[in-house]
Structure 1
Amino acid sequence: MGPRQHTGGPNRGPDASRVPSVSALIIFAKAPIPGQVKTRLCPPLTPDEAASLHGSIVLDMLERSRGTASMDRFVACAPSPDHVFFKILAERHGVRLIAQTGDDLGARMARACADMFALGYQHVMVIGTDLPTLPASAFGDAVKLLASHDLVLGPARDGGYYLIGLRKPAPELFAGIPWSTDRVLALTQQKAAALGLRTALLPVRRDIDTVDDLRAVIDETGLQTRAPQPATTLSPRTAGVLRLLADRLCTPNAPRRAGARP
């Protein structure tokens, strides 16, 4: 048998004629359109600032996931793979673009996973883009865990999860979940137990959904004090964007979004 043909490339959409790598990583991402991304950060961020931050985090996710062996990368695009932002990603970062199909987040993730398994991938992982401090090693860690587990979850501090990895289709894990609540992880684990899936957990991490999350990341990474940061913690691109926002967001009188907890 000849060598496996690596599928990672600037092509659009899955290509069943190619032999896949062992693992597929699906990055769910929105185009950085002002007023349509990170709206919970506005105010105090402007729509343009929120879009700039979002775009930088998406690019960081692509760069950090680049070096994982035997893993093909796909970007599940919203609103459409035709957006110029995604076309540039495909050209410059060697990822393939797929559409998000389904009535809600769960249906879209289930469909994306099913499509990857249909192409012959042994492991399928889905991740969002709200994780500026995620280390590059997280992807390899998830792949290693999938060698001996049916399901891998990356718990988020808000009660959700930032990554889900599977060894076989399990659409039940995505059905009937109250997305964007603190019950997502617990309910997913309950469903996994009912299905008899062997589950492993990655370290708990913070994603950026709210202004308080953003302030916490700035504080935890020392950006407000200009402290030097480990290269594995925060990329220079996102650090630069956050540094511009740090003084305004982290002062005692900085405006808080209505309803935010002190």
Structure 2
Amino acid sequence: MPEQTPEMLLEAAALLRRQDVVLSPAEDGGVTLMASRCPWPDLADLPWSTPELGRALAERCTGAGLEVGTMTPCADVDEWADLERLRTTLATDLREPQQALHKLIRELLR
């Protein structure tokens, strides 16, 4: 997710040293980051792109005997309003990739 900060990624890395799987919940029930230090269980039949994904993913991992750590939630981009919010957020983000994305979003939302 473009709004994930270096600090959030460091948080994920630190959790991954102690947990098998790390998930960052999306505000709408999905996930914005999935990290694992071991093979994933079968994820094919999970309810992708739904509000149930985060819960189902965590349950699938714990059901496979994996320890799951959860980090700071982050917003994701699923709808037009999310894209408008992202444009505002990226306006003050000085990282080069985020500025390039901000420029593209500004052009798209004209």
TM-score normalised by length of structure 2: 0.78
Identity of aligned residues (%): 28
Task: Rate the CA distance shift 1:235–1:222 in 2: closer, same or farther, 3 A.
Answer: closer
Aligned with residue 236 of structure 1, among 63, 78, 99: 99
Letter in 2 for 1:150: D
Q: Offset of 1:192 from its aligned partner?
A: 2.4
- Between the two proteins, the alignment pairs up a number of residues equal to 109
Q: Which one of the candidate residues 70, 74, 78 is aligned to 1:201?
A: 70
Q: Which of 125, 128, 147 pairs up with 2:17?
A: 147
Query: Could you tell me which residue of structure 2 aligns to residue 210 of structure 1?
Result: 79
1-structure distance, mates of 2:63, 2:31: 19
Q: Give yes or no for the alignment of 1:178 onto 2:41.
A: no
Partner letter of residue 15 of structure 2?
A: L
Q: Are 2:26 and 1:163 aligned?
A: no
Give a deviation string over 1:53-81, Cα, whole Å, max 9, x none: xxxxxxxxxxxxxxxxxxxxxxxxxxxxx
Measure how far apart 1:147 and its partner are.
0.9
- For 2:21 and 2:28, the matched residues in 1 are separated by 20
- Unmatched tracts of structure 1, length 5 or more: 1-130, 224-228, 249-262
CA deviation after TM superposition for structure 1 residue 214, in Å: 0.5
Runs of 5+ consecutive residues of structure 2 not aligned to the other structure: none
Q: Deviations over 1:98-122 (max 9, x none)?
A: xxxxxxxxxxxxxxxxxxxxxxxxx
1:91-106 correspondence to structure 2 within 5 Å = none
What secondary structure does 1:147 align onto?
helix
The higher-RCO structure (CA 8 Å, 6+ apart) is 2
Give secondary structure in 2 for the equivalent of 1:186. Answer: helix
- Structure with higher Rg: it is 1
> Once superposed, what is the RMSD of the aligned Cα atoms?
2.4
Q: CA deviation at 1:222?
A: 7.7
Decide whether the 8 Å contact of 2:41 with 2:60 is kept in 1: no
> Quick one: structure 1 residues 222 and 152, their matched pair in 2 at CA, closer, same or farther if it must change by over 3 Å?
closer
1:86-144 CA distances to partner (integer Å, 9 max, x unpaired)? xxxxxxxxxxxxxxxxxxxxxxxxxxxxxxxxxxxxxxxxxxxxx22221333332222
TM-score by length of 1: 0.37
